[in-house]
Every structure is written in C-alpha cells, then in structure tokens.
Homo-oligomer: A and B are copies of this chain.
C-alpha cells in the first residue's frame, strides 16, 4: 500500500522530471532562435525561465519540509538531499539556455552566428539536447548504464568548444571582435549546460549506487 510519504516522494520526482523537460526544451528552442534569428522564439525562452525558477523553489521547499517533518533515513534521505542539488543544477541549465536566447535577441534582426560557425553551434545544440534527453532517461528510469554515454557526449561538447575557438582564432575569421565575443560566450554557455547535465546524471547515479561519483571535471579551463 502506498503511503503519503511515498506519494510526496513520487511528486517531487515528477517535479524534477518536469524541470528536465523544461530545460531540455529551453536549450533546444534557444538554439533554434539563435540559428534562425527568431526574436519571438528567443523571447519565449527568456519568459519561460520563470517557470524553471519557480519549480526549483517549490521542489527545494518541499524536499526541505520532507526532511524536516518526516525525518527520512537511508535512500529516501539521500534522494531528498540529492534533489536539492539536482534542482540547483537544473535551474542553472535554464539560466544558460536563457543566456543563449539573449544573445539571439541582442543581435536581432541580424544573425548572431556567422555562416562558418553555424555548423559547430548547431552541433553544440544537438549535443546539449541529446545529453539532456539521456539525463532524463537516467533520472526517470534510473538507467545508470547511460552514464558512460553521457560522459562521452560531454567530451564531444568540449571538443566542439575547442573547434569553435579554432574557427574564431583562424586568420580567416572575418567577423570582428563582437562576433568573437558572442562565440566565446556561446561556447561557454553550451559547455556549462553540458557540465550541469553531467552533474545531474552523476548525482542520480549516486542515489542509486550510494557510491559518490568522481568530481565533475573542470572542463575547458580558459582555453587550455
């Protein structure tokens, strides 16, 4: 028989899954707005971020209240404490998608991304989307076998960021400093989005296995 405690745990889990869906949609829409120079789409991403923020606050409060009132032990406590971390990562992923959308909006009606950088940025968007979908599978299905695939996608995001830098630093880059700054920030935003996605996956695997995952690599530090 189900009890109130586990119903509430399930609802918190469903809330986390909903946050993942929202931040997955946000990065996908933000990439679309960026590559399409679509102001309306960018605005919608920016406006939708309040939902992610509200959900984080709600889930954080509920997790805290569960810990305070129910005094859960073992796996339930670990799940609730991990939820506090997950929702922080997910909120940040929402912020990063919003930052991508703001660059699209800032350059409208121009395209922020010059023609020769489109492929790399599109690939970063694809990797982000694929990564967050795998993270959803880990969190919803607790399929920890996906862990390796997630790390591999994170590596490919780092490789794409290096490719983007190579492009911008090439003598053939003819788009000036402003576009170089935009590409630098976009590269950083997608990379950090991926880092947080990996952190969510690792935290979830920690709930399942009880083994603390290795610390999140620092990713590309500076350009090094």
Residues of chain A at the chain B interface (Cβ within 8 Å): 53, 57, 64, 67-68, 71, 73-74, 77-78, 81, 84-85, 88, 95, 98-100, 102-103, 105-106, 165, 168-169, 173, 177-178, 180-182, 184-185, 188, 212, 215, 218, 221-224
Contact = CB atoms under 8 A, between A and B. Distances in A.
Given A67-B67, A73-B68, A215-B53, A99 B168 contact: no
A195 to B, nearest CB: 10
Closest 4 CB pairs of A and B: A103-B222, A102-B221, A102-B222, A184-B184
A67 B84 contact: no
Question: Could you tell me the dominant secondary structure of chain A's interface residues?
Answer: helix
Copies of this polypeptide in the complex = 2
A180 B71 CA distance: 52
A185 B212 CA distance: 31
A168 B178 CA distance: 9
Contacts of A188: 185, 188
A95 B218 contact: yes
A134 to B, nearest CB: 23
B221 A99 contact: yes
Contacts of A223: 103, 106, 181-182, 185
